[in-house]
Amino acid sequence: MSRMTKTVVVAGLLATSGCSDFLSGDKLDSDPNRPTSAQAAQLLTAVQVNSYYILNGHAARVLTMWMQQMAGTDRQYASQAVYSYSEDDFSGYWDDVYGGGGLIDLRLIQSLSDTAGDRVYSGIAKVLEAYIIGTAADIYGDIPYSQALTSDTPELDEQLDVYAALQTLLDNAIADLSSGEGTGPGDVDLLLGGDAAAWTEVAHTLKARYYLHTAEVDQSAYASALAEAQLGISSPANDLESYHTDVTLESNIWYQFFRDRDSYIRAAATMVDTMKARGDPRLTEYFGPAGNGTISASNAGSKKNGNESRDFPLTLRTRCGVDR
């Protein structure tokens, strides 16, 4: 090997070594702005905020139209109100239930809490899981659950099987919450401030709800629902209310929608006419009167192509700001 060749080889090795050392290290191999893990407290906040959209967002609005409580009167809601929709119309809902901020993060919270020996924290996450998954089963019937996080093509569990699994999950949550093991999330919990006793009441109330949902096929479920309800939420202070502020993007989800998309949905004539005929005193609790002091309503699709008719002025009575 010539002197020139040796020089080139050595220089190449030195350059390679220098680049390797220069481009590696703790502060270079990891991006602090793209964390690969999160603490239970961070995950819990994301889950609770995400739950507001699951429970009060698009799916809730569509269901009120299909139950003829509200009428779709503009844009996509005019079509969806008469059952014209595609799979994509609800894909975001499924992402919320199972993806980030949903079941994946709830199971991770439980794993982290179990490792830390904090059963109170784990119990709260289990109650939230039962709440979110139970809501999905309420809406869709058969849903992925037992294989939801273990298969790329999970099978649908029958609705009754999902309710049965959630009863067991809630029993486990109640045991965790009453164990006294761990401190729980404390003020990180936006809903009940980490109060184990309050969360226990919520768990019993959910058990009562899911028993009622199975009573048509199992008459004994009525007695079980009554027993659980008597152990459930005992005072307004323990109500499970979503947490909002008077900051624009933190307002009540329903309020945000009607503030920004006033023409999309109105009260349904079916709902309003029925309540008026019965003299139902809740009418003004559900809906606010128009400028002339009357409460009117619309039929599905009564406003076309974004041209809003003022024949049925109505404002849905919603709450803005902190709910509790």
Domains of the chain (ranges; CATH) run 40-71+83-241 (1.25.40.390), 249-316 (no CATH)
Give the whole-angstrom CA distance, residue 73 versus residue 129.
34
Helix (H, G, I), strand (E, B) or coil at 101: coil
Closest C-alpha among 124, 143, 123, 119 to residue 133:
143
**pLDDT, position 310:** 35
Show pLDDT as tens, one digit a residue, over the chain (324 residues): 555 555 555 555 555 555 555 566 666 667 666 656 789 999 999 999 999 988 888 888 999 999 999 999 998 889 998 888 888 888 888 999 999 899 999 999 999 999 999 999 999 999 999 999 999 999 999 999 999 999 999 999 999 999 999 999 999 999 999 999 999 999 999 999 999 999 999 999 999 999 999 999 999 999 999 999 999 999 999 999 988 888 888 888 888 888 888 889 889 999 999 999 999 999 988 888 877 778 878 888 765 433 333 333 344 433 333 333
CB atoms within 10 A of CB 323: 14
**pLDDT, position 221:** 97
From the number of C-beta atoms within 10 Å of its C-beta (0-12, 13-18, 19+), residue 47 rates as buried
Closest C-alpha among 233, 212, 49, 210 to residue 131:
210
Give me the amino acid identity at 318: T
Closest C-alpha among 231, 133, 216 to residue 174:
231
**pLDDT, position 89:** 85
**pLDDT, position 4:** 55
Give 238's DSSP letter: G
Give the pTM: 0.81
**pLDDT, position 307:** 35
Give the whole-angstrom CA distance, residue 59 versus residue 126.
23
Place of tokens 């690969």: 36
Residues 6+ apart with CB under 8 A from 127: 170, 173, 177, 199, 202, 203, 206
Q: What is the pLDDT of residues 21-73, one digit of tens each?
A: 556 666 666 766 665 678 999 999 999 999 998 888 888 899 999 999 999 99
Closest C-alpha among 59, 65, 83 to residue 268:
65
**pLDDT, position 274:** 94
Give the whole-angstrom CA distance, residue 113 versus residue 125.
9
